[in-house]
Amino acid sequence: MEVNMPNTHLTVFLFQSLACTVAVVCLVRWYLLPALDKLSCWKQMELLFLPFLIRFVGTTTLVHGVVAPTYSAKCAQVASILDPLNMAIALAAIFAFRAHSRWAVPLAVLFLVEVTIFSGLLLWVDGPTGWLEGLQGHWYVATIVVPILMVFQFLVFFRLIKHHAELKATAK
């Protein structure tokens, strides 16, 4: 699919995504991480999964008028299937972390793998910028929601590495 997005739109998209990412990183670094460090590793992981409960938002690409008719049907299909799946895995991980279950870490890893596959599929089905064509009302998701969730994905990954031994040793 050839992208007909004007360069100004791509520039605005990149600026907004970067600005949101920087803002979220600052909030996380200055306020969230110091607060998380006061909690148990189980509670930290549980809380870090909460933002992913909004992953159902990808299904909005199926709603007429939210995205343009030029929006990729392949991208809409990928988002409408894998976004809710990601939300379901995140919810399962929250329950597992709340219960200190031995399934918590495997669910967290499954979550991270699924997110990576989801992102890769979006880039693969229509190229690196194909999914941007026709975003319309879905623009806020790509420039605000995705950067926020991306930062939290990295937090989950790094906190999982940091606390893996303790989580494993104290799991029920």
pLDDT tens for 118-146 read 888 887 887 777 777 888 888 999 899 99
Residue 34, C-beta contacts closer than 8 angstroms, at least 6 positions apart: none
pLDDT of residue 8: 81
Percent of the chain having pLDDT more than 70? Answer: 97
- Distances from the Cα of 16 to the Cα of 113, 119, 147, angstroms: 26, 19, 9
Mean pLDDT across the stretch 8-35?
Answer: 95
Q: Three-state DSSP class for 59?
A: helix
pLDDT tens for 35-84 read 999 999 999 999 999 999 999 898 998 888 898 888 888 888 888 999 99
Judge contact between 82 and 123, C-beta under 8 A.
no
pLDDT of residue 6: 66
